[in-house]
Structure 1
Amino acid sequence: MNTKQIKYFFKSDYPKLSLLATGRCLSESSVKPVNIITAKKGSYGYYQNVFNLTNITIAKLENTAVHPYRTIIIERYVKHTKLKDVALLIGYSSNTTRIKTNEALLCFANEYNKQADKYNLEFKFQ
């Protein structure tokens, strides 16, 4: 699994999914667990389910002092906070924050793939 692919998803696809699914631009308040609507068919329902599954996955990420994955994903990729400010927020050096960011992205992708299998969605990170 490649972290570049996941970064691209958060920087390019996730804001578009937010706009499509909610009708408004991405904000921290849009990152909340919601239900997957498996009965919805068509492209709109599919994209709404991918967006909802992404939010469920973010909410399920570990958020401890050792593994601040949820904080990193929300701060870095939802709020677009600078890396040095994220480092101050989680209490790590810049280099360690980069390593933790890559760990958070991989953890997100693994959890997302598990949830996609559970809800039978086709979009997965390879």
Structure 2
Amino acid sequence: YTFGGGTRLEVDLGHVPPKLTVLSPSMHEGKATLLCLANNGFPSGWTLSWKVGCSSSSSSWEESRSPGVLQKDGLYSWSSTLRLPADQWEKLDSVTCEATQDSQTPVPETLWRNQCS
């Protein structure tokens, strides 16, 4: 933050883990699309990744991630989208979105398929 004639105040927030939310999938054209929202984290270098069942990657998944967006409070928000075949989603128990940053403890959020309507 900069005040008046250029006095600059910097506040070191350290590492603030983001709050994760995994939204129930939307189904379209034979694909299940899940969204992971990460809010109020610091610094901007947290990375979002997905674990589907016991696996952390598959050639049949499509992942996309947004860069960190700085909010007015000085914290960041991100999102990640996972698309997988609907028949694969129907066979799963859960999907987990995980935020990682250097040596910080990973932050997981799991969506259990039986929680979805």
TM range (shorter): under 0.3
TM-score under structure 1 normalisation? 0.26
More helix by proportion, 1 or 2?
A: 1
If you compute each CA radius of gyration, which structure gives the higher value, 1 or 2? Answer: 2
TM-score under structure 2 normalisation? 0.28
